[in-house]
Structure 1
Amino acid sequence: MFFTPHITVACIVHAQGKLLVVEERIDGKLTWNQPAGHLEADESLIAAMKREICEETGLDLTPDYLVGVHQWTAKDGTPFIRFLFSCEIETCCSTTPQDSDIERCHWLTPMQIMESTQLRSPLVAESIKLWQSGSRHPLTLFHWFESPPQTPY
């Protein structure tokens, strides 16, 4: 059987003890997620993460670390491989989402997020737990083989 998971990226953005979440409407319900999205063709994982952060928050940020990789299957049977990054910034700055699917962004404590009933998927809380465990890996783990990505990282 041929396995074709959705490849996605997500980022824990941390400032002043709070994490940035995006609020988006999924099937008519408001949900919370980390800035996240799908990898596009001819795009490096890091470039995808930078693009998603900008589209969903309006912020120009580069991830600092790879926190981990989750393999997960959604309730509808859709398989995902999610690369989780982290980014540390000094202040909880204002956001201006560029993506019309994002209603607004919130700076919340990890506990506020993990106790919420609005999480888009269980990966939101699991990502915070992995980040809180101190998991950090250098971005030098990533190498683009053959043709270069359109957007360098």
Structure 2
Amino acid sequence: MTDVWKPSVTVAAIIERDGRFLLIEEATSDGIRISQPAGHLDPNESLLEAVVRETLEETSHDFTPTALVGMYMASYVSARTGKAVTYLRFAFCGDLGAQHDQALDHGILRTLWMSRDELAACPERHRGSQVLLCIDDYLRGQRAPLSMLNTHPSAYGVANV
């Protein structure tokens, strides 16, 4: 039997305040990189639940998604395994909420606020090509309503309805 190709599903939060974007700086196998608060979709959660969870884990802030900015697919060769990995990223914009007194997720060094131009000036530090693209799409006003997303109860381990 042949292997079935499956992209890794990730979510990202685009959070803007006064022309600056909330970003995270993290230690990766490729060095210290900058990205939006982002991470993998876990079993038994919706895309919206994932982006809320990831934002809290990586920034210690609540996040309320208000729109889908875009869906992005990109591949790269992992420095750790030498294998090609494809990511399917769902980027959401929304509102930043309360900050909690909790440690940042493993590997996250700090949060920082940067303008689009500051971020564009350091592409070698980006976690991937989609970091700036998501912000540019946000700044262009690209939005889709959250009602476009549908999570069937079976995604939560509930028997098919």
Q: Kindly, what percent of the aligned residue pairs are identical?
A: 30
Code of the aligned partner of 2:29: D
Structure with the higher strand share, 1 or 2 = 2
Q: CA RMSD in A?
A: 2.2
The residue number in structure 1 matching 2:109 is 103
* C-alpha contact 1:11 1:86 (8 A) present in aligned 2: yes
Question: Could you say what secondary structure the match of 1:63 adopts?
Answer: strand
Q: How does 1:1-153 map to 2 (within 5 A)?
A: 2-27=4-29, 29-76=31-78, 77-89=84-96, 97-116=103-122, 117-147=124-154, 149=156
Question: Could you say what secondary structure the match of 2:65 adopts?
Answer: coil
* C-alpha contact 1:13 1:88 (8 A) present in aligned 2: yes
Q: 1:111 deviation in Å?
A: 1.0
Q: What's the TM-score, normalizing by structure 2?
A: 0.83
Q: 1:137 deviation in Å?
A: 0.8
After superposition, give the CA deviation of every residue in 1:34-61 in whole Å (9 maximum; x if it has no partner).
0000000111000000000000000011
* C-alpha contact 1:66 1:83 (8 A) present in aligned 2: yes
Query: CA 1:94–1:109 in 2, change beyond 3 Å: closer, same or farther?
Result: farther
Structure 1 CA distance for aligned equivalents of residues 29 and 119 of structure 2: 20
Code of the aligned partner of 1:78: V
Code of the aligned partner of 1:108: M
Query: CA 1:140–1:33 in 2, change beyond 3 Å: closer, same or farther?
Result: same
Question: Could you say what secondary structure the match of 1:48 adopts?
Answer: helix
Q: 1:97 deviation in Å?
A: 4.9
Question: How many residues align structurally?
Answer: 148
Structure 1 CA distance for aligned equivalents of residues 143 and 93 of structure 2: 8
Q: 1:95 deviation in Å?
A: 8.8
Structure 1's consecutive aligned runs of 4 or more residues displaced over 2 angstroms after TM superposition are 93-98, 146-150
